[in-house]
């Protein structure tokens, strides 16, 4: 029971983290029609910035806040210098150019921070176990991730659905020529959206940093998960990204936790221990394959022209 609750929460936490990443990716794709492979690099930069700033200020929250700002600025600079020139080009061009950016970021990080990973220690007040149910404790930090990510998701929803900027963003997604003709500064709007996406990726990276090691290439594996999520959820749909992210996070975590035992009941223990790791890492891809067979457009496709 304890294990089930714990793994369930771990799955939720991982899923929400994935949502932060996928939301930025799907926003940028939905509005600018830009495939940004370097989104994972922004996630990595968020983690590196956090590790640096926390060590520098000695305060976890202040460091995290500075890292968030730094990723936002980095995203805006990236958009203005490089990615802005890619709008309206072929998707293949996006893939290639942002692939080049990944090479650049990975190497820049190696140059600046060195090839070894960094650790981001938590302050003591975040390491205490918190009772969530009578007799069941859960690490405060993971709980904090869940709360922050849910809050951000709520703010994002309200921001996109209820504010004027959000209205412009949605309008830009459905018809960019028209909104430009109506006198909206499209360039500024795009830069803003990209910065927002970068900040979300950075937030995911800096929150994940204390759980995993901060290392080169950390953004790439998780980026592919984010791709799977937006394919399942439907490209351009934030609601789809949210549901798919939580779903994928759960399946992945629960699969890794319980599949080996489950298999051991059916197969011999050696066969199970060989098959389980491969099978549990395949689970989400199988899920994606099933979704594609049933709904090639994803589960919640955004309204396209």
- Give the pair of three-digit tokens for residue 108: 């820049």
Task: Tell me the site size for other proteins, rule CB under 8 A.
Answer: 44
Task: State how far the Cα of 228 lies from the Cα of 39, in Å rounded to an integer.
Answer: 14
Task: State how far the Cα of 175 lies from the Cα of 25, in Å rounded to an integer.
Answer: 19
Task: State how far the Cα of 301 lies from the Cα of 40, in Å rounded to an integer.
Answer: 23
Task: State how far the Cα of 35 lies from the Cα of 252, in Å rounded to an integer.
Answer: 25
Q: Does position 111 bind other proteins by CB under 8 A? A: yes
Q: Does position 86 bind other proteins by CB under 8 A? A: yes
Using the contact rule CB under 8 A, the part of the chain among 8-16, 82-90, 141-149, 170-178 near other proteins is: 82-90
Collapsed DSSP state (helix, strand, coil) of residue 302: coil
Using the contact rule CB under 8 A, the part of the chain among 11-19, 47-55, 120-128, 277-285 near other proteins is: 277-285
Q: Does position 274 bind other proteins by CB under 8 A? A: yes
Contacting residue, 76, 96, 136, 171, with other proteins by CB under 8 A: 96
Q: Does position 244 bind other proteins by CB under 8 A? A: no
Contacting residue, 231, 241, 246, 263, with other proteins by CB under 8 A: 231
Q: Which residues, in sequence order, are bridge partners of residue 138?
A: 130
Q: Does position 56 bind other proteins by CB under 8 A? A: no
Contacting residue, 56, 59, 62, 107, with other proteins by CB under 8 A: 107
Across the chain, which distance is largest between two alpha carbons, in Å? 68
- Give the pair of three-digit tokens for residue 131: 């009772």
Task: State how far the Cα of 255 lies from the Cα of 99, in Å rounded to an integer.
Answer: 31
Binding site for other proteins (CB under 8 A): 29, 35, 82, 85-86, 89, 91-93, 95-97, 99-108, 110-111, 220-221, 224, 227-228, 230-231, 235, 274, 277-279, 281-282, 285, 288-289, 292-293, 296
């Amino acid at each position: 029971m304890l294990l089930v609750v714990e793994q369930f929460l771990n799955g939720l936490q991982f899923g929400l983290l994935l949502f932060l990443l996928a939301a930025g990716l799907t926003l940028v794709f939905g509005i600018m029609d830009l495939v940004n492979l370097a989104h994972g690099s922004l996630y990595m930069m968020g983690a590196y910035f956090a590790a640096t700033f926390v060590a520098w200020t000695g305060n976890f929250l202040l460091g995290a806040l500075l890292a968030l700002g730094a990723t936002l600025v980095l995203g805006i600079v990236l958009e203005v210098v490089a990615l802005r020139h890619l709008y309206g080009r072929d998707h293949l061009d996006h893939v290639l150019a942002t692939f080049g950016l990944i090479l650049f970021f990975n190497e820049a990080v190696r140059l600046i921070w060195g090839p070894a990973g960094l650790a981001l220690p938590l302050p003591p007040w975040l390491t205490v176990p918190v009772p969530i149910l009578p007799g069941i404790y859960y690490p405060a930090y993971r709980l904090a991730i869940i709360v922050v990510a849910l809050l951000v998701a709520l703010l994002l929803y309200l921001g996109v659905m209820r504010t004027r900027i959000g209205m412009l963003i949605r309008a830009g997604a459905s018809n960019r020529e028209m909104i430009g003709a109506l006198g909206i500064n499209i360039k500024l709007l795009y830069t803003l959206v990209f910065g927002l996406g970068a900040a979300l990726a950075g937030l995911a990276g800096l929150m994940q940093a204390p759980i995993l090691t901060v290392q080169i290439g950390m953004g790439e594996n998780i980026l592919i998960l984010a791709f799977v999520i937006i394919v399942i959820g439907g490209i351009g749909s934030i609601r789809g990204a949210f549901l798919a992210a939580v779903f994928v996070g759960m399946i992945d975590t629960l699969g890794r936790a319980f599949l080996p035992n489950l298999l051991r009941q059916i197969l011999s223990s050696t066969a199970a221990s060989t098959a389980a790791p491969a099978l549990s890492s395949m689970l989400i891809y199988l899920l994606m394959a099933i979704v594609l067979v049933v709904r090639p457009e994803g589960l919640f496709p955004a309204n396209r022209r």
